[in-house]
Structure 1
Amino acid sequence: MHTTTEESVRGCPDCGSEIRVHSRFSAWCAACDWNVDPAPPEERPGRLARAQRAQARRHGEKLLTELTAGGTLRPRRDASSVLAYALALAVHAVTLAVAGAGIGFLIRGWGGFGMVPGTLLLALAWSLRPRLTRLPTDVPVLRRADAPELFTLVDQVAVVVGTRGVDAIAVDSSINASVATYGIGGRRLLTLGLPLWEILTPQQRIALLGHELGHYSNGDTRHGQVVATAYRSLVTWEYFFHPYSDVTLLTMTVNVFYALPRWILLGLLLLLDRLTLRGAQRSEYLADRMAARAGSTEAAAELFDWLLVSESAEVTLMREANGSALRGRGGSGRDDERIDGLWERLAADLRSVPEHERERQRRASIRRGHSVDSTHPPTWLRQTALRIGPPVPPAVVSETGRELRIGAELAGVRKTVARRILHDGYGN
């Protein structure tokens, strides 16, 4: 059973208006916004993360202003995208040069003195090499034969958003979803966070699929292999030049020599981020439009409300995991009962969140500039952009029979992920 909510009424300490107080949630005033955001999150550490979030908000607001003024969104390759590719290729060229230098030292030898620098340079080049995404090995991965109904639904949504389906579906315990390409042939992977999937309605799930598959059809440079692998190489370079934290004469001297190359690397990371950010933000807005096209504007907009209460889902899952650890495994039958009922308890807990609390989360998100991460447009901007223009009806409509068949296909995965959460702890 989910936690019950007790409600009482009292006056706002600031304006005196009547406010409803829920035992599970923060008290706040809808009239004056008193206590609407009682515990703002701490700023993410690091200059790069702060700069990314600030840029994301500026670009998101600018794109929304263009849409409000009657502008249109469409996939396109602009000058920034071309420069991003050029910079990415230059980064990979440096990696090749490092590898070439290492090979040169080994070939020339120089009486054996070239072995050490040659080996070190090759090791450095190996750590900087472009890494293709691989299928995950620590979570369930479904193929078409494992879940034909789910793959058929994905294919149907893919046609609506103008792309093709996926080759594999990974299912994990995150409150998120994503797409990627893997392997040399550029095969497609859809990752579904089961907690998110379980709390959505069938029509919202279709909107979620529309959003994720939309990334394949809207020309997002940031998700391309060339730019993504170059970004990882720059992060690796920055890691090598990260300053030492312990203070000794030697480390202070090393840090002085590290300062200039590290600032150059941070500058390159920011430049690559800036060159791809506008395209990435446009890609998110376009993917939101794809979500509306597939599942309806209403279903797509409702997705954002679930993102705003994702912290509540995390709290519920951690509470379930901690409760399971405290109770222990009291027999296989009792253990299976807790596992089988986890997703129903999570859905019930999240759907018991009153509209008053959801509204508080919406207002708090505007103050915080809430976004999925430091590169996404703020959630409230995305929700506002979806509301511009007439609502779009769903191109793919959920069917009870198909939903039941998909549920049966996911039964084993649901149990596997639930067991991992309850036995190993959420987030482990």
Structure 2
Amino acid sequence: MLDTVDRRVQPCPECGTEIRTDPRFVVWCAACDWNMDPGEPEETPGRLERLQRRLARQHGEKLLAEVTAGVTLRPRRDGASVLAYTIALAVHGVTAALVVTGILLVVLGWGSALPLLGAVLLGIAWPLRPRFQQLPDDVPVLYRADAPELFRLIAEVAEAVGTAGVHAVVVTVDVNASVSTYGLRQRRRLEIGLGLWEILTPQQRIALLGHELGHYANGDTRHGLIIANALRSLTTWRYLLNRIPQPTLGEVALNALYLLPRCAVLGVLMLLDHLTFRATQRGEYLADSFAARAGSTEAAVGLLDRLLVGDSATSALLREANTKQVARAGNPAREEAWRGLWKRLAAHMDSLPQSEYERQRRCSALRGHGVDTTHPPTHLRRACLLTGAPTAAEVVAAPERQAALDAELAKARETLAREILNGI
């Protein structure tokens, strides 16, 4: 259902400035920032999280200074990247050593306690093993034969940003999009969340594809198979060696035994974070530049603005689901509520006042890298896009193409709308 907007006027309790309120959103004052960010205070971050935020802030501010000074960001491999790969390979070498040693002890140690020790080593190595993502089986997955026009569009955008297309498109309900690889052959997959896709203009969708495919083009190291699995292995080691709270007498000795290995793991994890953070931040700015190249600077900025208010889209979908659940059974409107869900979502997002966009921009500047250390704050990414002359689109959203794309995504739209509203 469409939102009924009831805007009112009230004075700011802090400075007295007149505030035009919308009951659907946070009431705040643009003059003095009263109630701008009323969310719950976040938990005190740990040592690693504090380091990550400090590194993210330092690298983000340095990259922004480079961009605003006219320095063109380009993908690059430097000494830090080489060292990061070396450390990651060493981490995987430890896992391989555990596997080999465990197998040898099990095979050659019969008649003693060695096979038991080997089984323990293999048990430790199992959660440390490299992971290969697979395609999900609970959401729609499209291949070229299912959506030829969509794959042609992806190929055009990929060519514009200097990379190849994808092998599969996963469609979800999320207000997000991402790229990754799957399987032993490391085929490319693009994940499109309809919660985001449906609230974008056709040209902003092209910018979205440009951003995501741009991650392939710039060769992000942190999300690659080798380093990503090394970070996962180190995080697992950190969990296995974590200090036992309120220990018994025997656990005190175990905590003491774990102290040096735990410090070593934490140190390596911090070092790998330090070596890859700058590349990760650079990768996001580069992906934004690819979004502007593919869809235009205007579309890329519009995409960031939509991402900025993405929580409103998530809340709208939750309201739709809750409204459906409380409707009386047997009501025809309840059974057909999935029809028009995505249009209602787009209409809701189009009704957002500009004051909500501005509030979210100020919140982004206030929070900085506190929420997400791997992505620069949205206000910095937006500032980078607006630096210099606007970029024209290399791929234009032709009206006749939109009908074909809508037809190819129709079944996925219906499936996911039914899932949200009917639980099937």
Q: Report the TM-score range of the alignment, normalised by the length of the smaller protein.
A: over 0.9
Q: 1:370 to 1:302 in 2, by over 3 A?
A: farther
Once the 2 structures are TM-superposed, how far is the Cα of residue 261 of structure 1 from its aligned partner?
A: 2.2
2:314 corresponds to which residue?
A: 314
After superposition, give the CA deviation of every residue in 1:198-253 in whole Å (9 maximum; x if it has no partner). 11111100000000000111121112211111111112212212333465444444
The aligned amino acid for 2:379 is W
The aligned amino acid for 1:147 is A
Contact 2:361 2:378 in 1 (8 A): no
Of residues 95-104 and 237-246 in structure 1, the stretch that sits farther from structure 2 once superposed is 237-246
1:136 corresponds to which residue?
A: 136
Q: State how 1:23-422 maps to structure 2 within 5 Å.
A: 23-39=23-39, 41-43=41-43, 45-109=45-109, 111-245=111-245, 247-327=247-327, 329-330=329-330, 334-369=333-368, 373-422=372-421
2:5 corresponds to which residue?
A: 5
Of residues 141-150 and 343-352 in structure 1, the stretch that sits farther from structure 2 once superposed is 343-352
For 1:39 and 1:228, the matched residues in 2 are separated by 31
SS of corresponding position for 1:380: helix
Q: Structure 2: any 5+ residue segments left out of the alignment?
A: none
Contact 1:140 1:172 in 2 (8 A): yes
Q: 1:328 to 1:171 in 2, by over 3 A?
A: farther
Contact 2:5 2:22 in 1 (8 A): yes
Q: 1:263 to 1:4 in 2, by over 3 A?
A: farther
Give the TM-score normalised by structure 2.
Answer: 0.95
SS of corresponding position for 1:338: coil
SS of corresponding position for 1:179: strand
SS of corresponding position for 2:174: coil
Q: 1:55 to 1:152 in 2, by over 3 A?
A: same
Once the 2 structures are TM-superposed, how far is the Cα of residue 110 of structure 1 from its aligned partner?
A: 5.2
Once the 2 structures are TM-superposed, how far is the Cα of residue 45 of structure 1 from its aligned partner?
A: 4.9
For 2:189 and 2:350, the matched residues in 1 are separated by 30
Contact 1:203 1:398 in 2 (8 A): yes
Contact 2:53 2:369 in 1 (8 A): no
For 2:53 and 2:2, the matched residues in 1 are separated by 35
Contact 1:133 1:182 in 2 (8 A): yes
Once the 2 structures are TM-superposed, how far is the Cα of residue 44 of structure 1 from its aligned partner?
A: 7.0
Q: Structure 1: any 5+ residue segments left out of the alignment?
A: none
For 1:348 and 1:371, the matched residues in 2 are separated by 31
- Alignment RMSD: 2.0
For 1:34 and 1:56, the matched residues in 2 are separated by 28
Once the 2 structures are TM-superposed, how far is the Cα of residue 325 of structure 1 from its aligned partner?
A: 1.9
Contact 2:134 2:183 in 1 (8 A): yes
Q: 1:265 to 1:370 in 2, by over 3 A?
A: closer
Once the 2 structures are TM-superposed, how far is the Cα of residue 371 of structure 1 from its aligned partner?
A: 7.8
SS of corresponding position for 2:189: strand
Contact 1:212 1:287 in 2 (8 A): yes
For 1:257 and 1:137, the matched residues in 2 are separated by 43
Contact 1:40 1:368 in 2 (8 A): no
For 1:359 and 1:284, the matched residues in 2 are separated by 22
For 1:41 and 1:348, the matched residues in 2 are separated by 32
For 1:14 and 1:191, the matched residues in 2 are separated by 45
SS of corresponding position for 1:115: helix
For 1:207 and 1:147, the matched residues in 2 are separated by 19
Q: 1:214 to 1:35 in 2, by over 3 A?
A: same
SS of corresponding position for 1:222: coil
The aligned amino acid for 2:34 is W
After superposition, give the CA deviation of every residue in 1:293-327 in whole Å (9 maximum; x if it has no partner). 00000110111111111111121111112222222
The aligned amino acid for 1:74 is R
For 2:422 and 2:58, the matched residues in 1 are separated by 43
Percent identity of equivalent pairs: 57
Of residues 335-344 and 76-85 in structure 1, the stretch that sits farther from structure 2 once superposed is 335-344
Contact 1:371 1:377 in 2 (8 A): no
The aligned amino acid for 2:321 is A
Once the 2 structures are TM-superposed, how far is the Cα of residue 11 of structure 1 from its aligned partner?
A: 2.3
Q: 1:37 to 1:205 in 2, by over 3 A?
A: same
Contact 2:57 2:369 in 1 (8 A): no
Give the TM-score normalised by structure 1.
Answer: 0.94
The aligned amino acid for 1:261 is P
Of residues 156-165 and 363-372 in structure 1, the stretch that sits farther from structure 2 once superposed is 363-372
Q: 1:44 to 1:409 in 2, by over 3 A?
A: farther
Of residues 394-403 and 362-371 in structure 1, the stretch that sits farther from structure 2 once superposed is 362-371
The aligned amino acid for 1:308 is L
Contact 1:339 1:422 in 2 (8 A): yes
SS of corresponding position for 1:19: strand
Aligned residues: 424
Q: 1:371 to 1:151 in 2, by over 3 A?
A: farther
For 2:258 and 2:334, the matched residues in 1 are separated by 54
For 1:422 and 1:12, the matched residues in 2 are separated by 39
For 1:423 and 1:34, the matched residues in 2 are separated by 40
Q: 1:47 to 1:330 in 2, by over 3 A?
A: farther
For 1:342 and 1:370, the matched residues in 2 are separated by 34
Contact 1:174 1:196 in 2 (8 A): yes
Contact 2:56 2:369 in 1 (8 A): no
Q: 1:370 to 1:319 in 2, by over 3 A?
A: farther
Contact 2:171 2:191 in 1 (8 A): yes
Once the 2 structures are TM-superposed, how far is the Cα of residue 47 of structure 1 from its aligned partner?
A: 3.5
The aligned amino acid for 1:189 is R
For 1:355 and 1:370, the matched residues in 2 are separated by 24
Contact 1:77 1:219 in 2 (8 A): no
